[in-house]
Amino acid sequence: MSKELVIALEIDQVASAKLNALGIGELCIFPMYQRLLGRVSLPIVEKVVFDICGINVHSQVGDVFDGVVVVSVGVDFDRYEKSSCYKRKSFWLEVIDKAMGEISVKYGWGLAQFKAVQRRIKQNEFEFKGVIKPSVVNKLTKASARLEWSFFDKVIFSVRISRLEDAKALIVFACAPPSLNSLKLVSSAEWLTDSVVRVWHSNKKDCWDIDVNDGKVEFSFARALNGDLHAMYDLANMYLDGGLLLPNKAKGIALLRDAAAKGYKRAQKKLARLVSEPQANQ
């Protein structure tokens, strides 16, 4: 029976400090690799944990225990720090490929499925794309909406609209900095009306409403809608920094003004700093 092989990371304190300082975007190759591999038929092993340590030691594949194999990975951070983004991604892909090769030999897996993923990653030059959920169809208009993602230097979320009379349209509605959990931010989509698709955040409280006719995107942040001033401040930062939402300075500053007018000190301080910058109102 086929199932998804879980690929996980454990990072010691030394490596964590180094990677946080350099940026962890390249580590996204691990969940991306798992997603591309998909469901496979692999006996004995259910999960592979890459244990990354901050000292330069040879990688070692351990024995299976309760369905889990731990792969110890040492990193030469002096060399890693001087490497380009592409070379860092190549390094992690080599780590995964070597480990999967050794595990395959040890437990009688076929190598073809892993080599296919590696070729695909290299052919696409480390640009990843995928589908989050299958299409949902509007029963009246017969239009379909499919949630998709792509990743190179950040994770982009979009909805692909297919209608009988039109070519397919791709509407970007969110972006996120690369992290190991980025792909879990979006959960599902539904047709709210004949022209509006609602996309749910994984917390099942917040959502994006996307007008498929004009591409307009509205984000509903439940805590902010309930009048939580700290939430209004957080939402402003999302618009200003692009940490989850598509950057929109006008909306961000408007939210800061609202929270500041209601006495929220952090909003007042940030607003004062922003309005003093010439580009803030551009």
Residue 92: what are its φ and ψ, rounded to 5°?
-70, -35
Which H or E element spans position 7?
strand 6-11
Report pLDDT for 166: 67
Residue 82 binned pLDDT confidence (cut-offs 50, 70, 90): very high
Kindly report whether the global pTM for this prediction surpasses the value 0.85. Answer: no
Tokens of residue 70, six digits: 């731990």
pLDDT in tens, 9-31: 999 998 989 888 887 778 888 88
Over pLDDT 70: what percentage of the chain? 95
Does residue 42 register a pLDDT over 90? no
- Distance CA(203)–CA(181), nearest Å, equals 13
Do the beta carbons of residue 9 and residue 28 sit within 8 Å?
Answer: no
Alpha-carbon torsion (162, 163, 165, 166), positive or negative? negative
Report pLDDT for 167: 63
Q: Is 93 buried (19+), middle (13-18) or exposed (0-12) by CB count in 10 A?
A: buried
pLDDT in tens, 174-196: 998 777 677 789 999 999 999 99
Q: What is the mean predicted confidence (pLDDT) over 248-272? A: 93
pLDDT in tens, 86-104: 899 999 999 999 999 999 9
Q: What is the mean predicted confidence (pLDDT) over 135-159? A: 91
pLDDT in tens, 100-132: 999 998 888 888 999 999 999 999 888 888 888
Does residue 220 register a pLDDT over 90? yes
- Distance CA(104)–CA(112), nearest Å, equals 10
Extended beta strands in 63-176, E state: 68-74, 128-137, 144-151, 155-162, 169-176
